[in-house]
Structure 1
Amino acid sequence: MSTERDDWPEGVARHVLPSVDSTMDEAARLAPGLSGSAWIFAHEQTAARGRRGRAWRAPSGNFSATLVMRPEGGLAHAALYSFVAALALEAALAHVAGPHARLTIKWPNDVLLNGGKVAGILLESLQGAETIAIGIGVNLAVAPERSEIEPEAMAPVSLLGETGMQIAPVDFLPMLAQAFDHYDRQFRDYGFDAIRNAWLARAARLGEEITARVGGETYRGTFETIDQTGALILTTPEGRRAISAADIFF
């Protein structure tokens, strides 16, 4: 897999903006006019958002981008691109961070660096199930303060703070785009098994006890694997449980 600075996947558009409210919102605006996949990158986001519409701070030096694409196979298949994106993000960060950085993926798609959250992914469907937007935020230079996140959330870290490595966000974009193209091709050529195996090899706390919070219910058990739908398989005292969506705590 090539991740040279000037490499760019063939047939994929690139929109580089000085400032935008949110790359996810810009993706929704551009989607109807796109003929293929496109990356939308912003040097500045003024109204960035994370999961469940939560406000998300995007300081200067950090990375913000959204990939818009039309995957085949409907909504269930599209949701699996969360794992494709996580693998691509981990690969791009590994290229920058060097061999001594400890990178793992927290189910389903947060990337951890030395045990702290360095990056997150937000996947949303646009125009029904035909188009998806994959929003990616990476703490390249600055990590949020503890007071800015939920009390039980994973401690945030930055690439610079953990490794001393610096990279401009606009230079990180082609690395990520090329890595995504690599795993997207694997997904299309070999199916989810190839993605699932690669993801499990990088999974945080696999085989260990974790807590999953689903609505008002809390389940504690051993993180056994993920299934063919991407659901987390948790072995609890009450038996084996498949969890499709949850907040995970270590």
Structure 2
Amino acid sequence: MSADWPEGVARHVLDRVDSTNAEGFRLTAHPAWVLAVEQTAGRGRRGRIWSSPRGNFYGSHVSRPTGPADRAALRSFVAALSLRDALVAVTGLETAFTLKWPNDVLLNGGKLSGILLEGQGGLLAVGMGVNLIASPPAEAVEATTVRPTNLLAETGFRLTPEQLLARLAPAFAAREAQLAQGFDGIRHDFLAHAARVGERITARTMTASHTGIYRTVDDHGALVLDTEAGRITIPAADIFFADP
């Protein structure tokens, strides 16, 4: 482990697992990071399949958080910011990485990563998938979604999963410490790097679709939209950008 590895956090690097979140739940000691070279049943939000070719990053931070349940959900912002922190530290490309609410990291406007929070038995798994060397072809995703991209093709940086984890673990610990002081700092930093604030976007929930101007993120992490019907807050949704 590197000298910067956070104290008291275990590290498990495995060749092949079903999913790093599931493996994290099977561990007996937490907090811990689980990194897999390959996943056989990786998944994204709402049960979507997450393609997991070798060479990309598949990792989960698993812990037993204290405090209210809504505070646990705010770790999606911790994850997005810490992943951005790590990628900027490696590449030096400060303006290339932006954040799509609630927790996707974009690279030059393309989707670089996905983040999935899951809870089980008092444990919280924060799973992250990052396209380091490969990404799905554009025709494999919905036409209305953000185009997929990968770090190697977009920037020329070749980064191994282990190298990213070495940067990500301390960045995550630092953002966790920031969250412990309250959500205000995390919210401020997220908005400083958020994509499409002030622009027209569409938020689709399980039951409705809302289009409006993306104004901000509120004190609970909800999206704030100004629509033709007035200002609304949306705690969870899939976000779609209009053409630039």
2: CA distance, partners of 1:49 / 1:138? 13
Choose the corresponding residue for 1:91, options 56, 63, 85. Answer: 85
Equivalent position of 1:110 in the other structure:
104
Residue 210 (str. 1) matches residue 207 (str. 2)? no
The CA deviation at 1:29 is: 1.6
Equivalent position of 1:38 in the other structure:
32
1: CA distance, partners of 2:152 / 2:107? 11
Classify the secondary structure of the residue corresponding to 1:16: strand
Deviations 1:219-241 (A, max 9, x none): 11111111111000001111110
CA shift in 2, pair 1:5/1:158, >3 Å? farther
Equivalent runs, 1:1-250 vs 2, <5 Å: 6-30=3-27, 33-34=28-29, 36-99=30-93, 102-127=96-121, 130-188=122-180, 190-250=181-241
TM-score, normalized by length of structure 2? 0.95
- Where in structure 1 do 4 or more consecutive aligned residues deviate above 3 Å? none
2: CA distance, partners of 1:112 / 1:169? 18
The CA deviation at 1:171 is: 1.3
The CA deviation at 1:101 is: 5.3
Identity of aligned residues (%): 52
- Structure 1, gaps ≥5 residues long: none
CA shift in 2, pair 1:121/1:83, >3 Å? same
2: CA distance, partners of 1:116 / 1:125? 28
CA shift in 2, pair 1:171/1:61, >3 Å? same
Residue pair 2:5, 2:169 contacting (<8 A) in 1 also: yes
Q: How many residues align?
A: 241
Classify the secondary structure of the residue corresponding to 2:214: strand
Amino acid at match of 1:119: S
1: CA distance, partners of 2:168 / 2:39? 19
Residue pair 1:144, 1:156 contacting (<8 A) in 2 also: yes
- Structure 2, gaps ≥5 residues long: none
Classify the secondary structure of the residue corresponding to 1:242: strand
Amino acid at match of 1:87: L
Name whichever of 6-15 and 161-170 sits farther off. 6-15
Deviations 1:45-71 (A, max 9, x none): 122111122211111110000110122
The CA deviation at 1:7 is: 2.3
Report the RMSD for the aligned CA atoms in angstroms.
1.4
2: CA distance, partners of 1:37 / 1:69? 4
Name whichever of 137-146 and 5-14 sits farther off. 5-14
Residue pair 1:107, 1:203 contacting (<8 A) in 2 also: yes
Amino acid at match of 2:147: A
Residue pair 1:101, 1:163 contacting (<8 A) in 2 also: no
Residue pair 2:88, 2:94 contacting (<8 A) in 1 also: no
Amino acid at match of 1:151: A
2: CA distance, partners of 1:185 / 1:100? 22
The CA deviation at 1:5 is: 5.5
Residue pair 1:24, 1:135 contacting (<8 A) in 2 also: yes
TM-score, normalized by length of structure 1? 0.92
Amino acid at match of 2:151: L
